[in-house]
Copies of this chain bind each other. A is one copy, B any other.
């Protein structure tokens, strides 16, 4: 079978499985998830053995220590996957929610109800725990999954999927064995083929670096929900509580710089710059954060703090667009809310942005006009997260506007349909 036929078979099997998945009850789905969790723990030795093969391949490929660490599965990480599955089992079923209901003058009752999407392709990088996380969220929401992880994680991903499928089948007669499939080849050409099969595949979600996501979006004929990057901003308004601003900026930048909802750029209103910048500068420098400032920022910091050049640099145009995921922060002094909003809408990535102010009019303008998935007033950007939003689990954060936007939990893995309940109505 050539690659095209192989991908077509995979996708066709997934579509058929998705029809069967839609018939499972909530209790059946939860029983499967709990059985899968137990099976992952019981099968830990085999999973670690498969993972050891991947680690060998990874070492031969000269993966960095960080990459190898992400690839590695140990008992703790396997338990953590199992725990994740049990948490998904405990969440409410996102399918069958009544989203709208109306009775028309002719007596026809219309109900808008949530449904599975169908077949979801997930493309991701190294970390094999994504296999269990993504598959469990898709399964709970009634979707068949086709998983494509990094080539160096193929053995790990396959055994995780097989363990879950075997457990699902044992736990529930109606469990379709193609509900969870791993693309069985590392061939790069598999992706564009798979993502051309619009008759079978309903959605693709790439997770990973910007270049991976761009490559997927470029080749896909099926809808893609993506999260390119998180270039998040905090704007300290003229009417900000500067102590609060200090805490929020510090948290947004430093609490966990490696994640997408960490801030990359601080915007400070010109009227408070002289007062605020030295305060936040001191705290950031103490944490070894590099500041890339515009001229006004550097003038203030140089005058007030006499900082060594090493930690204070001139910002470049490209820096404003950059997700550092590191201890680096751009700072710009701006003249008012309008300028802050314009900066964010131009340079930002439509992820998460925050205003710190006690001025309600300024806050409302910012909340209304910043065109991002999550916009905060007096809170850290770090809250954009499925768990923090009370979704219980998260498969990603969308910076798109069609389909889900912001954190994607189980509800965001559903579509909907309209049901019409009649008593013989015809159109006149």
- Residues of A near any B CB (own CB < 8 A): 19, 22-23, 102, 104, 108, 110, 115, 117-118, 198, 202-203, 217-218, 221, 223, 225, 241, 244, 247-248, 250-252, 255-256, 345, 354, 367-369, 371-380, 382-384, 388-390, 400-403, 405-407, 415-428
Distance A371 CA – B384 CA, assembled complex (angstroms): 33
Question: With A202-B401, A375-B417, A379-B420 given, can you name 9 additional A-B contacts, CB distance below 8 Å?
Answer: A110-B390, A118-B371, A203-B402, A223-B223, A371-B417, A374-B420, A379-B424, A380-B426, A401-B415
The 6 A-B residue pairs whose C-beta atoms are closest, nearest first, are: A379-B422, A251-B426, A382-B427, A376-B420, A401-B415, A223-B402
Q: How far is the CA of A48 from the CA of B382 in the complex (A)?
A: 57
A401, B203: Cβ atoms under 8 Å? yes
Is A223 within 8 A of B400, CB to CB? yes
A104 touches which one: B377, B388, B421 (CB < 8 A)? B388
Q: How far is the CB of A318 from the nearest CB of chain B, in Å? A: 16
Check A248 against B424 for contact (C-beta < 8 Å).
yes
Cβ 8 A contact of A422, one of B115, B376, B419: B376
- CB <8 Å contact, B417 and A406: yes
Choose among B102, B367, B400, B423 the residue that contacts A390 (Cβ–Cβ < 8 A): B102
**Residue ID in chain B nearest A99 by CB atoms:** B99
Residues of B within 8 A of A250 (CB): 426
Q: In angstroms, how far is the closest chain B Cβ from the Cβ of A15? A: 9
- Cα of A243 to Cα of B375 in the assembled complex, Å: 56
* Minimum CB–CB distance for A207 against chain B, Å: 17
Partner of A406, one of B379, B390, B418, B425: B418
Contacts of A389 in B (CB 8 A): 102, 104, 110, 418
Interchain CB contact under 8 A, A417 and B402: no
Query: Which of chain B's residues have a CB closer than 8 A to the CB of A241?
Result: 424
Closest to A428 in B: B255
How many copies, total? 2
Q: A427 — which chain B residues lie within 8 A by C-beta?
A: 251, 255-256, 380, 382-383, 388
* Shortest Cβ distance from residue A203 to the other chain B in the assembled complex, whole angstroms: 6
Q: List chain B residues, Cβ under 8 A from A218.
A: 221
* Distance between Cα atoms of A118 and B400 in the complex (Å): 11
Q: A417–B19 contact, CB under 8 A? A: no
Contact B223 A375 (CB under 8 A): no
Given A223-B223, A223-B400; A383-B419 close (CB under 8 Å): no
B345 and A19 contacting across the interface, CB-CB below 8 Å = yes
Q: Taking A225-B402, A382-B426 as contacts, is the C-beta distance between A23 and B368 under 8 angstroms?
A: yes
Q: What residues on B are CB-neighbors of A428 within 8 Å?
A: 255
Contact between chains at A23 and B424 (CB < 8 Å): no
Q: Are A416 and B425 in contact (CB under 8 A)?
A: no
Instruction: Report chain B residues within 8 Å CB of A423.
Output: 378-379
Taking a contact as CB atoms under 8 Å apart, the answer to whether A202 and B402 are in contact is yes
CB < 8 Å neighbour of A378 from B225, B384, B422: B422
* A118 contact from B115, B369, B401, Cβ within 8 A: B401
